[in-house]
Amino acid sequence: MSEAATPPEAPSPAISDLAEAIVNARSVVVLTGAGVSVPSGIPDFRTPETGMWANVDPMEVAHIDTFQRDPERFWSFYGERFASLGDKRPNGAHDVLAELERRGLIDAVITQNIDRLHHMAGTEKLIEVHGSIEFSSCLACGEEYELDWVRERAQQDGIPTCTSCEAAPPLKPNVVLFGEMLPEAALQEAFNLAAKADLLLAIGSSLVVHPVAGLPTITLRRGGQLALVTSGPTPYDEDAFVKLEGDVERELTALLAAIDDLDS
């Protein structure tokens, strides 16, 4: 006689509350930070010893002044990062968010990440406020080059350069470097989305990097709710009606299951 199947684990009250809020909201907007990509093998920025900035000074290697003054030093850092991202793929957290968008349950994903994993997972309404590594550009002529080509040139030559300009200037990744302003159009769109959201769901972000860290305040001031899925403290912990602090992939997978239960 076979053993009885183990019943599925019931969702926690916090996950059930968040699932109900998402299903009942008119407008849900998601904000993601580096923590959403950690299960894909991409380190976050600030974790001691393992974070991306653990052994370097970002104001030195990832500053627009360094790119302009010493492109070799700049690309010695970025070339390494580009090479390390070659085999990275979306994880379950990215997949859940893409699925929620397909179901019409979230309006958009605003991300601080430049790793293009949301795009790879299938998210369509994506606001990349810090840009993306998907392309690099020549600042002289505007020609854009895809990531794979740039990564190969960085590995071969150290500095990927424009093939359209006679002077072959170094390419710049289409990301916001230290010392640069965030793209105004993307930032304004993010502010507008936060202002109309009934629920802002912040995932994998410490919510300390401004101006994006101010998005929850916009939603809260307009009468919306805030939910957090992130480990470690944030300045908004007391303002959130729900905070989930477990592994982001497991938490979002459980959230999707709870939403499925509501629909069944």
- Is residue 119 among the annotated active site residues? no
Task: Enter the tokens of residue 19.
Answer: 């699932």
For residue 110, CA distances in Å to 5, 32, 128 come to 40, 6, 6
Task: Please spell the DSSP secondary structure of 66-106, one letter per residue.
Answer: HHHH-HHHHHHHHHHHHHHTTT----HHHHHHHHHHHTT--
For residue 139, CA distances in Å to 170, 181, 255 come to 8, 16, 43
Active-site residue, selected from the candidate residues 94, 118, 130, 210: 130
CA 80, CA 250: separation in Å to the nearest integer? 30
Residue type, 34: A
Q: What SS3 class is residue 218?
A: helix
Catalytic annotation, residues: 130
